[in-house]
Structure 1
Amino acid sequence: MFKKVLIVTVLLISFASSASANTLYEVKKGDTLSKIAKLNKVTINDIRSWNKLTKDSVYIKQKLVVKKPAVATKTPAKVVTTKPVVVTSASKQETVVTPVQVKDAQLITAPFQEQEKSLSGKGQAMYPLIVDFAKRLEGIPYVYGGYTMSGFDCSGFIYFLHTQAGLDITRQSSESYFAQTSVVSIPVVGDLVFFQNTYKQGISHMGIYIGDNKFIHAGSKGVEVTSLDSSYWKEHFVSFNRFNALTVK
């Protein structure tokens, strides 16, 4: 079983890397939206749609999605076989737990452990693609309420990544996303991480766990990778969570 899981995981990671590598384009001096569209053999409307652009102006080093994002239907099915368990109570959702560092073996086997909340197979199968794509967006500026390649806030970043992967998710606040998830004791790369009492009381920030006790998020300095060992994030850490269900659009 372990060998089979490892093979499926490797296939997913390989697919994610090749897909993301061909998806992003960094704007250079002299580029225009029409020039970029022609270069990548797509339409201006495609670029507008994929990047949720409201205007045609671009700036140097801006990152744009220039290929139709891969969707979950292209990923091998039946990756997750866990059975649903009872959702943790609301009172437990606010319990602060210590961040854990996940070992390689756990990253492969954790989705199959029955004590964790089940996620739709197609949803969690897209974790490698989501994480790989997220890393390629480092440096995009922070914009309050933003959910486009021009800028993100924390929940907008989560929304953008999941919709680009073809998953059915609506634009909501980090607090609302927290309410739609369940706490997991052993996180896997791609799970969510939540924080409280940052700029407001209660759940106020979120990101994506990427392993080695680190997470990627849209912080005040833009999209960046941050360590959970940081004193600030340790103080505000709440829990690792997983969406109760994600489906393909």
Structure 2
Amino acid sequence: MRKIIFTLFAATALTFAIGTSDTEASTYTVKPGDTLWKIASSNNISVNQLLTWNKLSSNSIYPKQSLKVAAVSAPAATPTKTSAPKTSASSASTYTVKAGDTLSHIARIHSTSVSSIQQLNKLSGSNIRPGQKLTVSGKAQATAPATVVKAPAAAPAVSKTSTYRVVSGDTLTNIAKRYGMSVSQLMSSNGLKTSTIRVGQTLKVDGTSVSKQPVTVSNPVAAPSTSGKVSSVVSIANSFLGTPYKWGGAAPGGFDCSGFIYYVYNQAGITVPRTNTTGLDAISSTVSSPQVGDLVFFKNTYRAGISHVGIYIGNNSFLHAGGAKVQITSMNDSYWGKHFDSYQRLNVMK
């Protein structure tokens, strides 16, 4: 009798263990120091997939948290219809780069990772050019063909019209210059009868010239001397070009300048606290010769003292959440140039 009971117990335990291993294969337990970007890269998925599958409204995670790292429906479909996804993937396993594309954007629309695309195409950095053909993961492409078709159509929609929130020191002249418009165009678009504007006022601006900025200056972003984490910072930051400016925002739905720094650096595996520009200034040290990935601080914009921050990306340009959206701006810009304070490096980067 004891022998029979033991046999039944052993069989039950074995069945339970097998079932558990299947479940664990699609989940991941967060460890201290983990970020969504790090978890997504190690599981060959995108940050957006992690956010969607786990119904996360921000990038905040905590140790011992259980995260889904695979679609629930994927395991059931694979054993019975293996040939169907392969056919779909083989017929569309390449992607032609379009103006404004970044590796992060391409990875997201094909539900794969930046590192996977870099390995498949033997890319050492994040530089890509319009017209370039890239091999993408066929496995993920089969699950989201509709996204691949629709994603390029979203970019032109942003370029038609955008908005800009007036900050202290702004004039119609410098706002018009920043967006490639004339003062008369700016006044006409906003029904202004005089040149008087007020801090906090929202103005309609021509987004065309802004949307073209990434195409002309984002290619020289990767610097040979930068580390892997710094390259990730730039790649991740580029993927959010055009994201709306949102006061206090620190997630993909909208960023303010310090929230953008917090999100991008933490996604790249560099721990930065959620603080304001003054706080970031306090944990950084001034450098005379900036490198890609260093911070650029500005002063006396909407308030006195250090009041704005961006990421230096080389070619005398910086990437920041400013004006109406995340964008790339020249250090020679008539507005930002006169408010420049210093180049600084986060102390954790030393």
Could you tell me which amino acid in structure 1 is paired with residue 308 of structure 2? H
Distance 2:311 2:292 in 1: 8
Tell whether the 8 Å contact from 2:285 to 2:345 is kept in structure 1 after alignment.
yes
Distance 2:224 2:242 in 1: 29
How far 1:50 moved relative to its partner?
3.6
- Post-superposition CA distance 1:8-52 (Å, at most 9, x none): xxxxxxxxxxx6x96366xxxxxxxxxxxxxx5886326545489
- 1:23 is matched with 46
Q: Which structure has the bigger radius of gyration? A: 2
Question: What is the number of residues matched between the two proteins?
Answer: 158
1:147 to 241, 250, 274: 250
The alignment's TM-score, normalised by the length of structure 2, stands at 0.40
Tell whether the 8 Å contact from 2:45 to 2:113 is kept in structure 1 after alignment.
no
1:216 to 310, 319, 323: 319
Could you tell me which amino acid in structure 1 is paired with residue 54 of structure 2? N
Identity of paired residues, percent?
40
How far 1:232 moved relative to its partner?
0.9
2:341 to 232, 238, 242: 238
Higher-helix-fraction structure: 2
Distance 1:69 1:160 in 2: 17
List runs of 5+ in structure 2 lacking aligned partners. Answer: 1-40, 62-104, 116-219
- 1:206 is matched with 309
Secondary structure, aligned partner of 1:143? coil
Distance 2:114 2:248 in 1: 22
**Aligned pairs for 1:24-43 within 5 A:** 40=49
Tell whether the 8 Å contact from 1:51 to 1:148 is kept in structure 2 after alignment.
no
**Aligned pairs for 1:99-114 within 5 A:** 107-108=223-224
Moved over 3 A (4+): 21-25, 40-43, 46-52, 63-70
Note if 1:45 corresponds to 2:68.
no
Change (3 A) 1:226 1:44: same
1:227 to 311, 327, 330: 330
2:274 to 162, 171, 175: 171
Tell whether the 8 Å contact from 1:198 to 1:205 is kept in structure 2 after alignment.
yes
How far 1:67 moved relative to its partner?
7.3
List runs of 5+ in structure 1 lacking aligned partners. Answer: 1-18, 26-39, 53-62, 71-103, 112-123
Give the root-mean-square deviation of aligned CA atoms: 3.6
Distance 2:50 2:234 in 1: 26
Tell whether the 8 Å contact from 1:69 to 1:165 is kept in structure 2 after alignment.
no
The alignment's TM-score, normalised by the length of structure 1, stands at 0.55
Distance 1:49 1:165 in 2: 15
- 2:288 is matched with 185
